[in-house]
Structures are given as C-alpha cells and as structure tokens.
Chain A
Amino acid sequence: MNPSDASDRVLVIEAGGSPRQYAREAWRYRDLLFILSWRDIKVRFKQTAIGASWALLRPLLTLIILTLVFSRIARLPSVGTAPYALLVLSGLLPWQFFAAGLSDAANSVVENEKIVTKIYFPRLVIPVSALAVCVVDFAISLLILAGIFAFYRYLPDWHLLALPVVLAFAVLVSLGPGLMLAALNVKYRDFRYVVPFLVQVGIYASPVAYSTSLVPERWRTFYYLNPMAGLIDTFRWTVLGHGFTPWWPGVGLSLGVALALLISGLLYFRATERSFADNI
C-alpha cells in the first residue's frame, strides 16, 4: 500500500467496471474488514453493561424457553441417545447465528450511510464485516454448548473435527440472503420489516426445536430446500456425534440452495452497489 507501488497504475472510472479489478480491490481493503468488525464488537462492549455476556445469555434464555415449550408442553420426542435440551441447543445455535447474521448484514449498509456517501471502498466489506461479528458471537456461544454438554455428561466424538466446515456452511447460508437484503434495503427500506418476519417464521420452518426425522418422507425433499435444514442437521451431526444422523441427500440439496442464494446475492449486490451512494 505504498504510493510508489501504485503511482504508475492508471485507474479508469466509467459506468460499469470490471469484476477482476473489484476482486483485487476487495482484497486490498481486507484490513478495513477486520477494523469494521472490531469496531462493532468494541462499541457493543462499551455501550452495554454486561458486554460479552449477551452472546451467552441470549441463547441460554431461548434454550430454556424452547426446551420447556417443546419437550414439556408439546411433548416432542428427542432422537437417539441425546437429551432433548441438547437437541434444541444444537439447533438453536446455528439458527441464532443465521438470524443475527441475516439482520445485521441486511441493515449494515444503511447503518453505515455516512461512510458510504463519503468514501469509496468495495461495499462488500460492510455486510461481510457485519457477519464476521456474528461469527465471533457464535464462537462465544459454543462455550454454552460445552457447558451444557458437561452438565448432561454427554461426550461428542470425532465428528467435532468438522466444526470449521460447518462454520463455513453457516456463513455461506447467511451471506447470500444477507447481501441481497442489504442491497434491497438501500433502495426499499421496506425490507427492514421483512427480516424480523423471516426470522420469526423461519424458526418454525427450520428444525430448531425438533429433529428432521419428524418430517414425513414425502415432504422431505421439499423441506430441505430450506438451507437452514441442511445446516442445522450438519451442526447436530457434528456436535451430537453418534447420537444423530442426517439425511445426506437433503443436506446436499440445502447446500446447493445456499450456493445458489450466495451467487444471486453477490450478483445483485454487485449490480446495485455502484448506485448505493445515490439511493441511500
């Protein structure tokens, strides 16, 4: 990033712009990505009294409520050898990552309006950094998982090694719709109201408080079109170990849908980002 490196390079500004140039610039702005995430984390710690504890408290309280409602009142069964609370928790953590990631990414560009209208940088940095913050929260909430596993004396097995892969899957699932909504939000603020609705309905449409084995076989293919179904299954398989086996073709289908969403999200974001400063 020394001026002499670049002092002979000529940059051409015109309507349009090439994707290769974009990729190079996005890479050049990687420091900004880290700093924006770091800013959001830091500010949250400074503004809230219990800072990091929120990342723990939120899933913990939801877990207690969901376990009570679904196992005690609705009497939904668990699967295999895992206690019901662990089943719920292993659905809840990826779900909360997705919900937070989606809404933070969706609002990110609008919230950074002041920067967007004054300075150029690849706008992709903004939603990605919002998502990165959620990854940190997710890592913290894994601590609860460890604690509750210890409480139930439940031991995960080698499947746990797949955790980084699942994390990548989770980012993949959230990023596509997040980018799409972030871009739409700039032009149509209506989407601010769409996201909470999606999150609210989605928790029932996704296998958070129940196992996918409860889904009737003839609906199964359709059900896995929801990428969260595949993600939650994979996460369960990873942390519950031998206690849970997903329907792998379904997981593949979910992965495909997530990829398709990511590609369309990226394309839409790229197509609209050049006019962000005009529309915001």
Chain B
Amino acid sequence: MAFAIKMEGLGKRYRLAHKHKARYRSLRDSIVEGALDIGYATKRLLTRKIPSTRPADEDFWALKDVDLQIEQGERLAIIGRNGAGKSTMLKLLSRVVEPTSGRAALRGRLASLLEVGTGFHPELTGRENIYLNGAILGMGRQEIDRKFDEIVSFADVEKFLDTPVKRFSSGMYTRLAFSVAAHLETDILIVDEVLAVGDAAFQRKCLGKMGDISEQGRTLLFVSHNMAAVQTLCNRAVLLSGGKIVATGDTHHIIEAYTKSWRQNIDLGERRDRSGTRRARLQSIALEDSNGDRSLRVGSMQAFEFVVTVSAEPDAIGKKADLILIVCDRRDNRMVPLYTEWTQSDFRITAEQQTFRCRVAAGLPLVADTYWLTAAVLIGGVNADKLERALEFEVTPSQDFAAGLVLNPAYGQVLVEHVWEQARA
C-alpha cells in the first residue's frame, strides 16, 4: 500500500519578538527595528565581538525535524499537550502555513477541518452557507449540488434551510458545519478537535461518519483531547511534545504514555503561552491532599490545597500581590474562581521566590471529570503573569457523595448536598 502522507524533516519556526506585544506590526516598528539592525551591524563591524543578529528576537520551533509516514487508509491520532505542535502540524499539512524546513508529500486530495464552520456567514441562510462553506473547503458547485440533500439530512436542518444561520442554535450550526465537511470527497481528512462541540448523540454520529470515511480507504488524521474518541476512532497514534515526535505506536499504548506524562510535575516557568508584564512569574502549581500527598487527582468535595510558587522581579518586592486560580471544565467553562481579593487576603511580595497556598476546605463541588486550571498573578493590581490551562487535573468520584457513583456530567456539573423526600399520599 502506498503512503498517503510522508513528512521528512518537517519544521516550522516562529519568531518571538520580545519587544512589541502589539497584535500586528506597524510600519513604524519595522522602520525603527531596521534602523536598530543597521546600528547593530555597524557596531559589530567595528568591534567584531557581538553575535551576528540582534538578540531581541527569539526563534521558536513549533515543530522540528518531524519524520512520519502515514499509509493510505490509516486512522492516525495526534496526541499531545497544548503547545506540543499538533495544530502546527495540521496547519502545515493543510497548507495554511508554509514549512520553514523539510518537506511533506501528500497523495490525493486533502481537506481539513481545523474549525467547524469556517467562513459561515451569520446573515446568510443555511442553504447559502452550504454552498459558501463547501466552496471554501474546495468543493465545486456541481459536487455540492450532488451532495446537497445528503448534507442537509445528515445535519437534520431541513426545516431551517432558509433561515439565516445567525438564528440557528449552536447545535444546529455545528451539525450543519460538520455535515458539509464530512461530505467532502477527499482522500485525506484532517480533523482538529471539532467534537468538542455538539451534543452526545451528534458526537456519536460524527464518529460514525469518520469511521465510514476510513473504511472507504481514505486516510484520517485526528486531533482531540477526548481520549475516548481517539481510542475508538484511531488505529495508530503519535505523541508530540515540544514540537517533536516522542512516540508512535498503537493508540492504546500512546494514550497510556500521554496520560503518564501528565502525572509528572510540569515546570510552568518554561511555558511560552503566557501574558502579562512578567514582573512576577508563575513557577509551579501543585495539588496537595489533606495528608500532604501531591497528585493530579482530587476527590470531589474533598479538602485539598493548591500550592502555587511564584518568582518575582526585584522591583516587585513590597508590592501588593494578588492571585487568581480558575477551575475550568474541559469545554473551557469557568467553574470555580479562587481569588485573593475575594478572600481579602492582603499579600505582599517579600522575596524573589514565594509560595502561596489556597486551601479549599469544602473541596470542589464538581462531578468527576478532567478540569483545567487557569492561573494569574497580579502585582499592584496589574496582570503580571497569566497562564491559560496551567494545570490539568482530574476530579474523581467522591465517596461521601452519591456513594462514589460516576455521575454523568451531561446532567449538570455542580454538586450540592441535597435531600429528597416523598410526601405521604
């Protein structure tokens, strides 16, 4: 069997500029930097001591030296933490961005779903958006005509075809968008985390559709944080970390390796996806149970502590410090905020390295599931360092509540002690 995708030394470099944090460059920035470069080059010519480029910019390889061959008809999962290079790999393969080094060969037509409903226009009707979205995904008009009825019935939106999609419920919107993409006639389909939306029934339908796709001998590349979906859908997996492939193998083993990597303590100081003035920096966050043991699992409604270490610039010493931790569910809904201002804790930075403890005596009133922690530290009321998804941890079923039953998060996620009584007839 022939390969579907072959990557050889594939890499993508981004330039991280330390100086400007603006979302886009202005011409002035470029002129100023150009002038600085000239100044720097002149100085270098004169002294011959300093390295050849100005140290202002830092190279960052989002993906580096990736060699991977994917056979036709394979269903491959790409697993890794946020920032491991999954999205970059998908963007390179779907040609949204161009590689900095190496090459990739693709056999046949490729379609990618990096986002559900790309290019949907809210003012246009369902019918119009099918044509629009189809064309953006690379379908010809005739191909869409041919598939139109199938798309509509799969998405189950017959009645709303002539309604602008801005009046659609989010479920209808997602169904329609997925349906268009799923009916593309492609040899290779790339899917990124689109199952994070939509209800359970539709998710099953989507997984079924993707299964069909691979049975027809087409190749599927799938990225998801939903390990259950990965397990059912894919026969091979690749684990990425820091832009490199760390393991490849059958899905089961790779998921295990990935889960294990979560148990290790992560050095937050190394993370790049942070924002803030950097006058203080989050170094680590740990979860400690009432026995003082650290792990990334905590029972629902059981007392524990978050232990946060923070480093500070010398000029921040003596300044007021605030911390905020937000427990978010896997869909990024903010569930539980833990904020020093609300507890009226008047903290000051006293040393360059400090530890703060947040005791949650009543435990988290959340159903068992995976949760994320978003963390930020504020100096003098100004955001100094903020990390989204700083920590992933698991809330496990509580022995005291519902006798340790695994509760379905679809019924609701917040637990409160309650009592039911039956009135006498």
Contacts and interface: CB of A to CB of B under 8 A. Distances in A.
A10 B107 contact: yes
Nearest to A29: B138
Contacts of B94: 119-120
A27 to B, nearest CB: 12
B35 interface: no
How many interface residues does chain B have, given as a range?
35 or more
Contacts of B143: 1-2
Contact of B106 (A3, A13, A31, A118): A13
A51 to B, nearest CB: 13
Contacts of A53: none
Nearest to B128: A42
Contact of A115 (B27, B118, B141, B187): B118
Contacts of A28: 138
Interface stretch (A182-190, A206-214, A238-246): A182-190
B109 A6 contact: yes
A81 interface: no
Q: Interface majority SS on A: helix, strand, loop or mixed?
A: mixed
Most chain B CB inside 10 Å of its own CB: which residue of A11, A117, A119, A188? A119
Contacts of B99: 13-15
A7 B141 contact: no
Interface in A28-77: 28-29, 31-32, 35-36, 39, 42-43, 46-47
A2 B115 CA distance: 24
Contact of A7 (B108, B121, B137): B108
Given A6-B108, A13-B93, A43 B185 contact: no
B135 interface: yes
A31 B141 contact: yes
Interface in A202-238: none
Interface stretch (A100-108, A134-142, A258-266, A270-278): A270-278
B207 interface: no
Nearest to B102: A14
B95 interface: yes
B187 A13 contact: no
Contacts of B142: 1
B114 A118 contact: yes
Nearest to A12: B105
Contacts of B187: 3, 6-7
28 contacts: A1-B143, A6-B108, A9-B107, A10-B107, A13-B92, A13-B93, A13-B98, A13-B99, A13-B105, A13-B106, A14-B99, A35-B135, A42-B123, A43-B121, A46-B123, A46-B164, A47-B123, A115-B118, A115-B119, A116-B96, A117-B96, A118-B118, A120-B112, A188-B24, A188-B26, A188-B27, A188-B30, A190-B28
**Which A-B residue pairs are the 5 nearest by beta carbons?**
A120-B95, A14-B103, A35-B135, A1-B140, A7-B108
